[in-house]
Amino acid sequence: MTASSDTKKVFRIGMLGFGTVGAGTAQIVLHSRPSLKEKTGIDIQIRRIAVRDMKKHRAVSIDPALFTSDGQAVVDDPEIDIVVEVIGGIEPARTLILRALKNGKAVVTANKALLATHGKELFETALAHGGSIGFEASVCGGIPVIGALRDGLVANRIESIHGILNGTTNYILTRMVEDKVSYAQCLYEAQSKGYAEADPSTDVKGIDAAHKLTLLSNLAFHSIFDFSEVHAEGIDGLALDDVRYASDLGYAVKLLAVAKRRNPGADPEDFPGGLELRVHPALVPFSHPLANVRDVNNAVLIRGDATGEVMLYGRGAGMMPTGSAIVADIMDAARGSARQTFTKLQFFQNPREDMPVIPTDKIRSRYYVRFNVDDRPGVMGKVATVLGGHGVSIASVIQKEPHETGFVPIVMLTHLSVEDRFQAARAEIESLPFVRKPSAFYRVED
Ligand code: NAP
Ligand code: HSE
């Protein structure tokens, strides 16, 4: 592939997988082949497609003779220049990609789970064998955020990334809140539309967003961060009551991915510098651009030292948006630019800058907290006293009408606090005799 790619005009694709993303990719290649050729002079042809079930009906009509159940035959085919891996998961995707790279193929993948956990091995193998790995489709579906961080924002020292990186959970939150549809029904819809992962618990538990944040952080902060260093919480425990109370206070609840630099000495509590790296449901003020990202859409707000805030927005999952990102990487590989960029990228190769990941109990945030308490005099004062005793200052309070089961929800927003102080106060309040466990808390990102 590399030797002749300057003059070569026809590129043959081998596909591993033909599910949601594979079918979207094929549909774009089949329909846009003439226009892609006109724009770039390059002709893309699908030569083979490996699937698990040869009998399955396919969403896109394509020559049945192209299908095989033998993924190895695809990566070993000498006629194939570019291997597109859209199987997902770790194995056999990892073994097939490694083999394709060793066979000198360019690889394009949407597999963030694999890259976030085995990126070093894969990128080293690609470099050692003169190959490249395109992974634009692995983060935020059709939004070109990898290219933006790698190229468009290269002049910047990235200060922070705040993102809605998972389409399934954003779809679920939108439908539950706006249309009052049950959680189970929303999840079923997200699966039917092809948004969810094969194991949807990775979506709803924040793991998929944490995979994506690992990739973005490695690129943005030019350091190796491991997936295991990302603190991940999901939306599976979220109570609709809290979403409503948050709304009364002027906030939307979103599954947010946050990577935020903290400079040494910048903190009054004298923490060392480092990077906050976390995924969790968070309250975002309605006036914030991320609060208005609805449905399956994703958005990434990147703060660079030169640009200030840059926001990228669009569909974060689904066959066509993700297929668009795959085809962009195919064209990049065929043009030869992928290889050139890849050699210089040092992705997963660069040593860790002096930037430890800040433990979650040392992050600083504002907090939303709800305590269910008995409806009797003096309760509010005692709760406030405990918070004050831990140095946690209250920004606003609402006491809701008594719940039908007899308790009263007290909902508070705090000022900035270190998480361990806030959690110590919360635990102490939960142990008071008039407080019913569990309380609920969410971080606030203003
Ligand atoms: P999918 O619909 O479940 O498709 C997976 C495909 O892989 C199927 O065609 C399946 O074959 C095939 N496959 C499974 N095991 C195989 C094996 N051992 N050998 C050969 N083929 C095998 O998954 P998807 O939603 O397209 O996702 C694919 C990848 O893209 C994942 O890494 C995912 O995280 C990523 N991604 C997905 C989206 C999205 O919106 N869905 C967006 C961005 C990134 P059968 O069809 O015969 O079962
Ligand atoms: N399951 C993922 C999501 C697919 O819902 O965002 C896109 O990466």
CATH of residue 188: 3.30.360.10
Q: Answer for the pair 115, 135: CB distance below 8 angstroms, yes or no.
A: yes
**Active-site residue, selected from the candidate residues 105, 212, 254, 260:** 212
Q: β-strand 364-374 against 417-418: which pairing, if any?
A: antiparallel
pLDDT of residue 2: 46
Residue 326 placed within a domain: yes
Among all bound ligands, the one having the nearest atom to the CA of 172 is: 2
- Residues 280, 338: one domain? no
Domain count, the chain: 3
User: In the annotation, is 212 catalytic?
Assistant: yes
Q: Whose CA is nearest to atom 21 of ligand 1?
A: 51
CA distance linking residue 162 with residue 153, whole number of Å? 15
- Residues 175, 299: one domain? yes
SS3 content of the chain, % helix, strand, coil (to 5): 40, 25, 35
- Residues 268, 413: one domain? no
- Residues 432, 306: one domain? no
Q: How many residues does the chain have?
A: 446
- Residues 115, 159: one domain? no
CATH number for 328: 3.40.50.720
Residue 134 placed within a domain: yes
- Residues 308, 407: one domain? no
Tell me how far the alpha carbon of residue 89 lies from the centroid of ligand 1, in angstroms.
Answer: 8
Residue 125 placed within a domain: yes
CATH number for 388: 3.30.70.260
pLDDT of residue 130: 94
- Residues 275, 309: one domain? yes
pLDDT of residue 4: 46
- What are the tokens at 207? 């793991």
- What are the tokens at 412? 């508070």
Pocket of ligand 2, beta carbon within 6 A: 141, 166-168, 195-197, 203, 208, 316-317
- Residues 265, 185: one domain? yes
Residue 353 placed within a domain: no
pLDDT of residue 3: 41
- Top mutation candidate among 20, 146, 170 for ligand 1, by most atoms within 8 Å of CB: 20
Residue 349 placed within a domain: no
- Residues 118, 56: one domain? yes
- Residues 254, 194: one domain? yes
- Top mutation candidate among 25, 166, 191, 235 for ligand 2, by most atoms within 8 Å of CB: 166
Residue 270 placed within a domain: yes
- Residues 210, 288: one domain? yes
Domain that holds residue 289: 152-315
pLDDT of residue 267: 59
Tell me how far the alpha carbon of residue 50 lies from the centroid of ligand 1, in angstroms.
Answer: 11
CA distance linking residue 319 with residue 25, whole number of Å? 7
Burial class from Cβ neighbours inside 10 Å (0-12, 13-18, 19+) for residue 294 reads middle
Q: Whose CA is nearest to atom 7 of ligand 2?
A: 317
Q: What is the pLDDT along the chain (446 residues), one digit of tens a residue?
A: 544 456 789 999 999 999 999 999 999 999 999 999 999 999 999 999 999 999 999 989 999 999 999 999 999 999 999 999 999 999 999 999 999 999 999 999 999 999 999 999 999 999 999 999 999 999 999 999 999 999 999 999 999 999 999 999 999 999 999 998 999 999 999 999 999 999 999 999 999 999 999 999 999 998 889 999 999 999 999 999 999 999 999 999 999 999 999 887 665 565 678 999 999 999 999 999 999 999 999 999 999 999 999 999 999 999 999 999 999 999 999 999 999 888 887 777 777 767 899 999 999 999 999 999 998 889 999 999 999 999 999 999 998 777 777 789 999 999 999 999 999 999 999 999 999 999 999 999 98
Q: Which atom of ligand 1 is nearest to the CA of 88?
A: 32
CA distance linking residue 360 with residue 355, whole number of Å? 15
For residue 290, give the DSSP letter: G
Considering only CA atoms, which of 310, 120, 140, 108 is closest in space to residue 209? 140
CA distance linking residue 97 with residue 122, whole number of Å? 8
Residue 3 placed within a domain: no
Considering only CA atoms, which of 182, 163, 158, 162 is closest in space to residue 172? 182
- Residues 274, 177: one domain? yes
Residue 1 placed within a domain: no
